[in-house]
Amino acid sequence: MKYLLYFLFLLWPLLPAAGQPALPESGCHPGGKVDTKAALAPGCSTAPPPPVRTMAEWEEIQAVVITWRRDFANLLTEIVRHSHNECTVLIIAFNEEEVAQRLLFEGIPLDNVEFIHADFDNFWIRDYGPWTVYRNDVDSLMLVDWIYDDTTRRRDDTLPRPIAAHFGLPLYSATEPPCDWVHAGGNNLQDGMGSLFSSELVLETNPGKTMAEIEAIARAYLGVAPGRYFTMPMLPYDSIHHLDMHMRFLDEETILVGQYPEGVADGPQVEENVAFLRQLPTAFGNPYRIIRIPMPPDAWGRYPDEGGFYRTYTNSIFINKTILVPIYEERYDTTALRIYREQLPGYNIAGIDCDNIVDEYGAIHCITKLVGVPGPLRIAHARLRDTENTEEPYRVEAIIQHRSGIGGATLFYRAGPDAPYTAVPMSLEDEAASRWAAAIPPQPAHTEVQYYIHAAAQSGKEQVRPMVAPEGYFRFRVLDALDATENPAPGQGLSLHVYPNPAGRVAHLRFRAGQAQEVRLQLANQQGQVVWSAREWLPAGEKELAVPVGELANGAYHLSVVHDGGRIGRVVVVGK
């Protein structure tokens, strides 16, 4: 079989291009309306037909694209190994035969691997490769591009064209004045809902443009909603200033952010950025869920402010039901991989050694690009949060869209990991917004509720969210309603700082109380089981408490502190 595959590969240049025809530029989801002016910036005649939406990385993809660099063949081989069963792997290479032989030698079949022979300068395709957008949210599939901000790599900037041609897709490029946008893909984080996050590098690379002009271009080409382009200060020790080096979206409302020990390296600026994120509303109008993940030192124990390499766990990538995560050393990797598995249950979390590449300021996200599927069945959802409500149903809403229309949707839930799922039909409540809804019955305290959404299009296509359901799911906990409901009196305020976080043997809680009071503390695991609890008397002023976590398994735990004025919640990460 191996030799047959190799023989077929040798015939590759004689075969027709493995592309797909461009989709028609017409059609809307039910209730949708085409606003031909909504996304056009002044003079952007090369923009895609509006309105457009940029695909989120957790949506269904047909291909992952990489450029092959021989000195990092081991890393690239592992990306192909973990991706080829999830989607097509498109490899841009100078020597296709050499790459094919390497993959076959490693036991990787070529039946889902395709090649493009094209010139390029380096393999940071995240920054210069094309982006998937859809007209009317889920209709016509298109690709968009801009000017690569590394002007020394001219050949890299030409690659979107052969990629678009390979898939038979239209390409719209923001390269001509007044819409000439100089940008980097690693500094372009999107939620699939019209939100875009960049560092202020985007202003430095476009010195002749105002932020309003940049936003207009982003709206025309990427569908960024008005007021939803957010920029943050650059980090002092991240020399490339790409946000994917220390943060990423896990879903529409969850952002994974790297965390340094207090006061170390880029830690202070990252914490300022986190404080900024906490003030922003999501596209659904809720606060963002901020999940922290350690930024590990290099092999010599150094952080970037000491000359250490910029190791990062946020530079990961969704490949349909698999998530590829950069790893470096087992003592640090164990905690990082556990955090991914806790936040994204059911996904195949695959760690790939990136220690040899991270000293060039990049990892897996930086060297991969995704191409979405034609005709996606989109399910956008604001996952339910932990609650103390034990009396009222838990309402579940989702935006569900397909270009053929939606035939029906179902909510599945269960109260516990071993319970069977219960199905609840969802109703179309707002046709114009494609909003469907159902409710989960109220549950008693100390219950973990797991749920997912299933939808079927009129065309017969089916999809679930999360994509790995029913093995994977969204979840929330019904908490014990311990806290008082009265408004706190003046002077009763309580602040809490947890350090170190991640913690090894002991996590320290530093309190500052406006007045003396008793507090009740609980530490619970991801299944809602209380693993430690205490009652403590806090005097007015400062006091520190020690929480023994040395015997706990590595991972994230929920700390709840009930005081006279309410409840404080924190996530405590345990990492040996």
514: left (phi over 0), alpha (psi -120 to 50) or beta: alpha
Q: Is 398 helix (H, G, I), strand (E, B) or coil?
A: strand
CA distance 108 to 74: 13
CA distances from 472 to 245, 314, 438, 475, 557 (A): 27, 21, 20, 10, 20
Distances, alpha carbon 381 to alpha carbons 30, 250, 260, 434, in Å:
19, 12, 31, 12
**Could you tell me which residues are beta bridge partners of residue 439?**
395
Provide CB contacts within 8 A for 453, sequence distance 6+. 379, 381, 396, 398, 400, 409, 410, 411, 412, 426, 464, 465, 469
CA distance 363 to 78: 13
Residue 312 near residue 302 (C-beta atoms within 8 A): no
* 137: Cβ contacts below 8 Å, ≥ 6 apart: 29, 32, 51, 53, 378, 401, 434
What is the model's pLDDT at position 483? 38
CB 46 within 8 A of CB 179: yes
Residues 6+ apart with CB under 8 A from 401: 29, 137, 138, 377, 378, 434
CA distance from start to end of the chain: 46
- Beta-bridged to residue 251, according to DSSP, are 254
The crossing angle, in degrees rounded to 10, of helices 73-83 and 96-105 is 70
Instruction: Say whether 330 sits in a helix, a strand or coil.
Output: helix
Q: How many CB atoms lie within 10 A of CB 410?
A: 17
Token pair in block for residue 140: 């016509």
- Three-class HEC string of 405-433: CEEEEEEEEEECCCCCCEEEECEEEECCC
Complete edge-to-edge strand list for the sheet that includes strand 189-190: 189-190, 196-199, 229-232
Query: Are the CB atoms for 499 and 369 separated by under 8 Å?
Result: no
**Among candidates 382, 404, 446, 358, which has minimal Cα distance to 75?**
358
Q: In what order do the strands lie in the sheet with 348-353?
A: 317-319, 322-327, 348-353
How far apart are alpha carbons 289 and 146 in whole angstroms?
31
DSSP string, 6-25: HHHHHTGGGSPP---PPPPS
Q: Give the model's pLDDT for residue 325.
A: 98
Q: Please tell me the predicted confidence (pLDDT) of residue 481.
A: 60
pLDDT at position 524: 87
CATH number of 494-574: 2.60.40.3080
Alpha carbon separation from 61 to 51, 65, 83, 374, 568 (Å, rounded): 21, 11, 11, 9, 40
Select from 3.75.10.10, 3.40.50.300, 3.50.50.60, 3.40.50.150 the CATH code of 2-22+48-372.
Answer: 3.75.10.10
Reported as half-sphere exposure (CB side, CA atoms, 13 A), residue 480 has a value of 16
Per-residue pLDDT of the chain (576 residues; tens, 9 = 90+): 333 333 333 333 333 333 333 333 322 222 233 333 334 456 788 999 999 999 999 999 999 999 999 999 999 999 999 999 999 999 999 999 999 999 999 999 999 999 999 989 999 999 999 999 999 999 999 999 999 998 888 899 999 999 999 999 999 999 999 999 999 999 999 999 999 999 999 999 999 999 999 999 999 999 999 999 999 999 999 999 999 999 999 999 999 999 999 899 999 999 999 999 999 999 999 999 999 999 999 999 999 999 999 999 999 999 999 999 999 999 999 999 999 999 999 999 999 999 999 999 999 999 999 999 999 999 999 999 999 899 999 999 999 999 999 999 999 999 988 899 999 999 999 999 999 999 999 999 889 999 999 999 999 999 999 999 999 999 999 987 653 333 333 345 688 888 888 888 899 998 888 787 888 898 988 767 789 989 888 888 888 899 999 889 887 788 888 886 677 888 788 876
What is the longest distance spanned by two Cα atoms in the chain? Answer: 81
CB atoms within 10 A of CB 28: 17
Both tokens of residue 530? 């209380």
pLDDT for the residue 41:
52
Q: Is the fold of 378-478 the same as that of 494-574?
A: yes
Q: Please state, in angstroms and as integers, the Cα–Cα distance from residue 256 to each residue in 221, 292, 314, following that order.
A: 26, 6, 7
Q: Is 22 exposed, middle or buried (0-12, 13-18, 19+ CB in 10 A)?
A: middle
Distances (CA, A) of 351 to 70, 341, 357, 421: 21, 11, 14, 31
At which residue do the structure tokens 């300022």 appear? 272
Domain 378-478 has CATH 3.40.640.10: no
Residue boundaries of the structural domains of the chain: 2-22+48-372, 378-478, 494-574
